[in-house]
Chains A and B, each alone.
Chain A
Amino acid sequence: MFTKVLVANRGEIAVRIIRACRELGLQTVAVFSEVDRRSLHVRYADEAYLLGPAPSRESYLRGDKIIDIARQCKAGAIHPGYGFLAERADFAQACQEAGIVFIGPRPAAIAAMGDKAVARQTVALAGVPIVPGTESVSSLRDEDLLAIAPQVGFPLLIKAVAGGGGKGMREVASLEEMPGLIRAARREAESSFGDGNVYLEKLIEGARHIEIQLLADQHGNTIFLGERECSIQRRHQKLVEECPSPFVGDDEDLRSRMGQVAVKAAQAVDYVNAGTVEFLVDKEKNFYFLEMNTRLQVEHPVTELVTGVDIVKEQIRIARGRQLRYDQSDIHRNGWAIECRINAEDPFNNFMPSTGIITHILPPTGPGVRIDTGVYPGFAVSPYYDSLFTKLIVWGETRAEAILRMRRALEEYKIIGVRTNIPFHQKLVDSHRFMGGQFDTRFVEDRFSLEGNDDEKDPNENIAAIIATLVAHRENQRATNIVQRGKRDTSNWKWISRWERMQH
């Protein structure tokens, strides 16, 4: 049985996995790219090895190097986290061949669910409802797609066969705009997954994105840990997740039917370890299989806070061949949890990525607050990887308490050095529709604006005017002081450097 785990990832998820290992008394090994030498996961791990240059394909996607490192340092297992190599069947296979435990499902299950077109066919055969779309062909040419599109019906979605995380996905309203969108989707899919194949799926309007967390051991036991609501998205990227779903609410029948269907989908591929079955749920509470993520999810903490199950530790126990410590009747919900994904991007400038050195962080603490993060003051956010760098998760007895707690935690969270989407989250959790639980996957794009209501007078505008004026006044005074050379004891250079720093 393994006692040392190599974490083949970076950022907050690598830190999260290292924490689980430490609590289980396992040794940890970090791998890192040239720009990640100072990353938190490198600082926290017992051992750390350089992979290569910053671009993922030369570092975190180098499965061969990672396996070599694991062999050399005698790590008995590899945890892939999410993204990078997490859903690469060939990597899981290579681990197996090298005699290293891959903490995740078997290669065949990854492959079956990884090709989204094959996955649709597999689960449909097991009796799981799927969204109508192109069936069971993984490599369609542009002409085929254009010919099939009218049968699927508009609006529709072009999706990457190897897809995930909204990459390589495009929405199509009409046949005319389709060729350009196919090109863009293929290009993005090619660069994200090394596979430009795409398929089509009918766009279900007003749908919610609700997913079921599963755990399956190697002894044939599969259980579900309730659902997560992930409808708050922008450009198909999830931004806020909660557990339970306000849409499922008290409908225990719906919850249990979705859970059972998810278990069925997992069993169709002999699934082992933690996984998530994503569903689209329409207004009439019909639910359709969207895809299965054969890995740990970004949003796993909300389920952990509500069920009390440490999903990452369970993953490791399962990989060590243990039986699940729970059966379905042991799983109960307690309270409500919400997660906000904090990204390094500027919500006031079209969510443009923001890079730079994080100079200060003042994190929210106090009751019911959890932060999963991979950064610290002095750390440089680089353009090479995902903009998600910290997650703020809160728990409350009720949804209302969780929302109010999230509101205060967001206001407390101070991050200096890069722009973040915290203001977006603040506006969102304050909106009536979010509070009322009335939103679908299009809410952010269609009905949400960062601008205030014009008809509402903003009581703080004059405060902003006063603050700006006082800051400008101070700067004017300082500038004047610089002009009056030699009149002070302190060096003018010190003043100048301070003045310059203020400009950034």
Chain B
Amino acid sequence: MKYITSIGEREYHLEIVGENQILVDGQLLDLNFDHIEDQPVYSLLVEGHSHEAYVYLVEGVWQVLMHGRLYPVLVEDEEEKRLRNSIGNPAHHSGEFHLKAPMPGMIVAVPVAERQEVQKGEVLLILESMKMQNELKSPRQGWVTHLRVKPGDSVEQHQTLLSVVDE
């Protein structure tokens, strides 16, 4: 099985040859790969060298945390890669922006009102979590709609709090 694996700009061509062998950019490596049951903890012995990493899948990207460093890794087979290239990277159209709670917490203040115009970088909400107050800012210019929360409300992670639209 062949994969094209990218970390930032760098692309690696990998081919899984068998249980214990892998081709990395044409170089054949002996390996032993294992994983702790029910934990995102993986162990790789490659040519005798031992590495351990946490691996999480976040929105299609494999996050590999190893020796205190985080590597965002995209793993695709040739077909997926071709498909992605043909679509290209569609520029994010303006449309609507939905502000979602990045963490569970309590709304401390809502300095904006429904239908109010906001500028990029303007504070939309203040969310308190773990005793820290976090200012959630607008990533773009627009108008506030669908304001769903008020000060004192408890919110869940990923809950949509309000939207910013073009008109």
**Which A residues contact B (CB, under 8 angstroms)?**
167, 187-188, 191-192, 344-345, 348-349, 352-355, 359-360, 383-387, 410-411, 414, 416, 422-427, 430, 450, 452, 458, 460-476, 501-503
Asked if A383 and B67 make an inter-chain contact with CB atoms under 8 angstroms apart, the answer reads no
Stretch of B7-15, B85-93, B112-120 that contacts chain A: B7-15
Stretch of B124-132, B139-147, B158-166 that contacts chain A: B124-132
Q: Which residue of A lies closest to B37 (CB)?
A: A498
Asked if A469 and B64 make an inter-chain contact with CB atoms under 8 angstroms apart, the answer reads no
Asked if A469 and B75 make an inter-chain contact with CB atoms under 8 angstroms apart, the answer reads yes
Asked if B14 and A422 make an inter-chain contact with CB atoms under 8 angstroms apart, the answer reads no
Does B38 lie at the interface of the complex (its beta carbon under 8 Å from any beta carbon of A)?
A: yes
A184 CB to closest chain B CB (Å) equals 8
Interface footprint category on B? 35 or more
Known: A410-B68, A416-B54, A460-B67. 19 other contacts (CB 8 A): A352-B134, A353-B103, A353-B130, A355-B157, A360-B39, A384-B130, A411-B67, A416-B39, A416-B41, A423-B68, A425-B68, A464-B73, A465-B5, A466-B29, A466-B31, A468-B62, A468-B75, A473-B3, A476-B1
24 sampled A-B residue pairs with Cβ under 8 A: A345-B130, A353-B132, A360-B38, A383-B130, A385-B131, A386-B130, A387-B130, A416-B54, A423-B69, A460-B66, A460-B69, A461-B10, A462-B12, A463-B51, A464-B7, A464-B64, A466-B24, A467-B44, A468-B5, A469-B73, A473-B1, A475-B57, A501-B38, A502-B57
Query: A residues within 8 A CB of B1?
Result: 473, 476
Does B133 lie at the interface of the complex (its beta carbon under 8 Å from any beta carbon of A)?
A: yes
10 closest Cβ pairs, A-B complex: A426-B68, A468-B73, A464-B71, A472-B75, A468-B62, A387-B130, A423-B68, A464-B64, A353-B130, A465-B12
Query: A residues within 8 A CB of B44?
Result: 463, 466-467, 470
Asked if A472 and B3 make an inter-chain contact with CB atoms under 8 angstroms apart, the answer reads yes
Q: Which residue of B lies closest to A414 (CB)?
A: B41
Give bound CA distance, A430 to B75, whole Å: 30
Q: Which residue of B lies closest to A428 (CB)?
A: B68
Chain B contacts with A in 22-37, Cβ cutoff 8 A: 22, 24, 29, 31, 33, 35
Query: B residues within 8 A CB of A427?
Result: 68-69
Query: Which of B42, B53, B69, B128 interacts with A191 by CB under 8 Å?
Result: B128
Does B121 lie at the interface of the complex (its beta carbon under 8 Å from any beta carbon of A)?
A: no
Query: A residues within 8 A CB of B131?
Result: 167, 192, 385-387
Q: Which residue of A lies closest to B64 (CB)?
A: A464
Does B16 lie at the interface of the complex (its beta carbon under 8 Å from any beta carbon of A)?
A: yes
Asked if B14 and A423 make an inter-chain contact with CB atoms under 8 angstroms apart, the answer reads no
Asked if A470 and B41 make an inter-chain contact with CB atoms under 8 angstroms apart, the answer reads no
A61 CB to closest chain B CB (Å) equals 12
Query: A residues within 8 A CB of B75?
Result: 468-469, 472-473
Asked if B109 and A187 make an inter-chain contact with CB atoms under 8 angstroms apart, the answer reads yes
Give bound CA distance, A199 to B35, whole Å: 55
Query: Which of B62, B70, B134 interacts with A472 by CB under 8 Å?
Result: B62
Q: Which residue of A lies closest to B154 (CB)?
A: A383
Query: A residues within 8 A CB of B130?
Result: 344-345, 353, 355, 383-387
Secondary structure dominating the interface of B:
strand
**Which B residues contact A (CB, under 8 angstroms)?**
1, 3, 5, 7, 10, 12, 14, 16, 22, 24, 29, 31, 33, 35, 38-42, 44, 46, 51, 53-55, 57, 62, 64-71, 73, 75, 102-106, 108-109, 126, 128-134, 157
Query: Which of A416, A424, A461, A470 interacts with B71 by CB under 8 Å?
Result: A461
Query: B residues within 8 A CB of A462?
Result: 12, 24
Asked if A466 and B104 make an inter-chain contact with CB atoms under 8 angstroms apart, the answer reads no
Asked if B3 and A469 make an inter-chain contact with CB atoms under 8 angstroms apart, the answer reads yes
Query: A residues within 8 A CB of B71?
Result: 461, 464-465, 468
Give bound CA distance, A426 to B55, whole Å: 18
Given contacts A464-B66, A466-B24, A473-B16, is CB(A352)–CB(B102) below 8 Å?
Answer: yes
Asked if A467 and B64 make an inter-chain contact with CB atoms under 8 angstroms apart, the answer reads yes
Task: Identify the interface centre among A344, A353, A464: most chain B CB within 10 Å of its CB.
Answer: A464
Query: A residues within 8 A CB of B33?
Result: 467, 470
Give bound CA distance, A345 to B134, whole Å: 13
B157 CB to closest chain A CB (Å) equals 7
Query: B residues within 8 A CB of A355?
Result: 103-104, 129-130, 157
Query: Which of A187, A466, A476 interacts with B14 by CB under 8 Å?
Result: A466
Given contacts A383-B104, A501-B38, is CB(A469)–CB(B69) below 8 Å?
Answer: no
Query: A residues within 8 A CB of B53?
Result: 463-464, 467
Give bound CA distance, A104 to B116, whole Å: 51
Give bound CA distance, A83 to B134, whole Å: 20
Query: B residues within 8 A CB of A467?
Result: 33, 42, 44, 51, 53, 55, 64, 66
Give bound CA distance, A384 to B130, whole Å: 5
